[in-house]
Amino acid sequence: MIRNSPIRADRIAADIDALAEITEPGRPYTRRAFTPKFAEGRAWLEQQIEHAGFSSHIDAAGNLIATIPGRRPDLGTIMLGSHSDTVPDGGKFDGIAGIAAALEVARALKEGRIELDHTLEIVDFLAEEVSVFGVSCIGSRAISGTRPAEWLELRSDDLSLETAIAQIGGEPAADATRNDIKAFLELHIEQGPILQDGRIDIGVVTAIAGITRIEIIVEGRADHAGTTPMGWRKDALTTAAWITLGVQELGKALAQGQFHFAATVGEFIVEPNAANVVPARVRMLIDARAEHRPDMDRFITELERGITGIAKKTGVTVQAPRIVSDNHPTLCDPTLLDALDKACDTADATHRRMASGAGHDTAWMARITKAAMIFVPCLDGRSHTPDEFATADDIALGARVLLDAVLALDKTLQEDR
């Protein structure tokens, strides 16, 4: 236990370890949303909530929510939580650490006989990770009223998303939007090395980077790889390689600025993909992430200019970049950031403000309420891998910060009314 803290690291560790045991056979930490193992994990969480003395329910969106009534329910709700689903062969802490920390905050309040004025809720959001239906953040999008209606028609084999939500206890046709949530806080492992390398206890997340995905099609010409002279070729792959290097250099340049930026060519399809044929066509997909929207605008502009120059140099046709998806950055709430900074000081936790390069449910909750996150260190920044690791003490310190922030917000949110 952290000195003078009601938060128990051993309970947090036990919760995380127990969920880690619920996984697909031979596949460490695999509990994808809508699978039997996900349902088993949910059932275990419901038991833990009940053992802690709280009630829970599945809302219309398919989220599991534990409720701790406040003295003045008319004030609304303070919500804590994250997600219990994983990527295939993922880590045991991503999402799970946030669930365990939130539940421990509720336990500490109960054991300390502290009753909040606001209602407190602990949420396990449905399908934060990309699901078998190809979409993510299904539960938080529904609560925030941003889940597209057509998503319910998405299918995985013979199953529709609408039916899948109903099977786990949701009401997919019902309106799941909430207007009573006054603040939302999420604890998460950093999924990067900044806190570890800086020996910093807590990252107070200022913004969640916007994600833009850009498709580029390079049209060359198929020719015999052994007989076509090198100077006569229209090699789509060579041109695509030049573009990839350009994306890397442009991304590095923008990352030197004040704000977080990253760009990756993560998807590459070459046709005809034969050893003895000059590549005729390449489809590439860029994943670009920016904390500051003007950086993304600059990236897109300079990408287009660079592609024009490369195509002219190689003589290969490159279609104009097509923006496949474009989500703007989400800023975390200043009031909550200040509360988290003060809670770090109260807990004697070293801290710094930083952006998140990964997406989180918090980005969708920010559409309807004050929302913010904290990060705790993870070993070497590894995530979405069985090697993912965070210590129970680090998570417990983060839970202590959440607890102190909740206690402060229970008062200051009333002053904002």
pTM above 0.85, yes or no: yes
Host domain of residue 313: 210-326
Tokens of 46: 């419901």
Q: Domain for residue 1, yes or no?
A: no
Whether residue 268 sits in one domain with residue 167: no
Q: Tell me the C-alpha distance between 352 and 375, whole Å.
A: 10
Q: Domain for residue 105, yes or no?
A: yes
Phi-psi sector, 384: left (phi>0), alpha (psi -120 to 50), beta: left
Q: Domain for residue 230, yes or no?
A: yes
pLDDT at 347 over 50: yes
Mean pLDDT score across all residues of the chain? 96
pLDDT at 344 over 80: yes
Sequence-ordered strand ranges (E) for 342-390: 351-356, 370-376
Whether residue 16 sits in one domain with residue 120: yes
Q: Of 258, 292, 326, which residue sits at a domain end?
A: 326
Q: Of 278, 300, 326, which residue sits at a domain end?
A: 326
Residue 71 · residue 393 · CB < 8 Å: no
Q: Tell me the C-alpha distance between 207 and 101, whole Å.
A: 21
How confident is the model over 94-122, as pLDDT tens digits?
999 999 999 999 999 999 999 999 999 99
Whether residue 126 sits in one domain with residue 37: yes
Q: pLDDT class for 321, splitting at 50, 70, 90? A: very high
Whether residue 138 sits in one domain with residue 281: no
pLDDT at 415 over 90: no
Of 340, 336, 313, residue with least CA distance to 416: 336
Whether residue 218 sits in one domain with residue 182: no
For 24, the enclosing helix (H) or strand (E) is none
Residue 281: the pLDDT is 98
Whether residue 322 sits in one domain with residue 190: no
Of 239, 232, 233, residue with least CA distance to 218: 239
Residue 3: the pLDDT is 57
pLDDT at 212 over 80: yes
Mean pLDDT, to the nearest integer, of 179-191?
A: 98
Q: Of 288, 305, 326, which residue sits at a domain end?
A: 326
How confident is the model over 288-320, as pLDDT tens digits?
999 999 999 999 999 999 999 999 999 999 999
pLDDT at 372 over 70: yes
Residue 5: the pLDDT is 83
Whether residue 214 sits in one domain with residue 297: yes
Give me the residue label for tokens 């806190």.
Answer: 195
Q: Facing residues of 262 across strands?
A: 289
Mean pLDDT, to the nearest integer, of 215-236?
A: 97
CATH (domain of 251) = 3.30.70.360
| Tally of structural domains, the chain | 2
Whether residue 156 sits in one domain with residue 217: no
Whether residue 81 sits in one domain with residue 155: yes
Give per-residue burial for 282-313: e unless 16+ CB within 10 Å, then b. Answer: bbbbbbbbbbbeebbebbbeebeebbeebbee
Residue 365 · residue 219 · CB < 8 Å: no
Q: Domain for residue 193, yes or no?
A: yes
Residue 18 · residue 44 · CB < 8 Å: yes
Q: Domain for residue 3, yes or no?
A: no
> Which residue type does 409 have?
L
End-to-end CA, the chain: 36
For 301, the enclosing helix (H) or strand (E) is helix 293-314
C-alpha distances in Å from residue 273, one per residue of 62, 278, 282, 394: 42, 9, 10, 47
SS (H, E, C) 98-143: HHHHHHHHHHHHHHCCCCCCCEEEEEEECCCCCCCCCCCCHHHHHH
Whether residue 51 sits in one domain with residue 190: yes
Residue 1: the pLDDT is 42
Helix (DSSP H) and strand (DSSP E) numbers for the chain: 11, 16
Whether residue 218 sits in one domain with residue 199: no
Of 115, 41, 49, residue with least CA distance to 78: 115
Whether residue 144 sits in one domain with residue 55: yes
